[in-house]
Amino acid sequence: IRQRDAELHALREGKMRILKQELVIRELETQKDEWAQEKKQRDQADEINQENMNNQLAALTKELKDTKDLMAAQANENAAMQNAKQQMESELKDTMKKLETTTLQLKHERVQSTHNLDKAKHDVEELRKEYMKVQDENKKALVDLETNMREGAEQKKQSMVIDELTRENDELHRL
């Protein structure tokens, strides 16, 4: 009877371990779902950030185009100045001073636009690196989760073997 009581006690402990393992498996599945939801939210945020960066890049591109158009307009104005030179020598000096000032401003604006574009490219690259880092972290978490799920499946197999042995033991006791 003591031996049977000890075996029953061992079986109860085994069942408790099985129940605990099933609870752990449920918790892991819940955690997996939560991670999937968090990943989805991060992916959506990344898409929004990418769209914002694309909008900023488009704005900088437009600004660069406007600067080029302004420079083309300035070149046309230079041609008009050459025609005015033939008409009046005195106006040429004043016009050339204005032209030099405007050209310097345009060069400064072009340098500034180039700098802004380089900064935007750098920012996009930093965001891409951050996105890749988050993606790598997500991959690692998924691998860990899969490992945990495999371990849980192995424990479930062991509990099934224990149940089978328990049934066989019960049948032997009945005989």
Segment 129-155, tens digit of pLDDT: 998 998 899 899 889 888 888 888 888
The mean pLDDT of the chain is 90
Contacts 24+ apart (CB under 8 A), 153-158: 155/21, 156/18, 156/21, 156/22, 156/25
pLDDT at res. 37: 95
pLDDT, greater one: 174 or 33: 33
Angle between helices 2-87 and 89-174 (to 10 degrees): 170
Non-local (6+) Cβ contacts of 17 within 8 A are 159
Phi-psi region of 53 (alpha: psi -120 to 50; beta: other; left: phi over 0): alpha
What's the pLDDT band for 165 if we cut at 50, 70, 90?
confident
Residue with tokens 């951050």: 130
pLDDT at res. 155: 84
Helices (H) and strands (E) in the chain, counts: 2, 0
Closest CA to 45 of 127, 119, 121, 136: 127
Residues 42-87: tens digit of each pLDDT:
999 999 999 999 999 999 999 999 999 999 999 999 888 877 777 8
pLDDT at res. 85: 74
Question: What does the alpha-carbon distance between residue 169 and residue 173 come to, in Å, rounded to a whole number?
Answer: 6
- SS3 of 88, please? coil
What's the pLDDT band for 92 if we cut at 50, 70, 90?
low
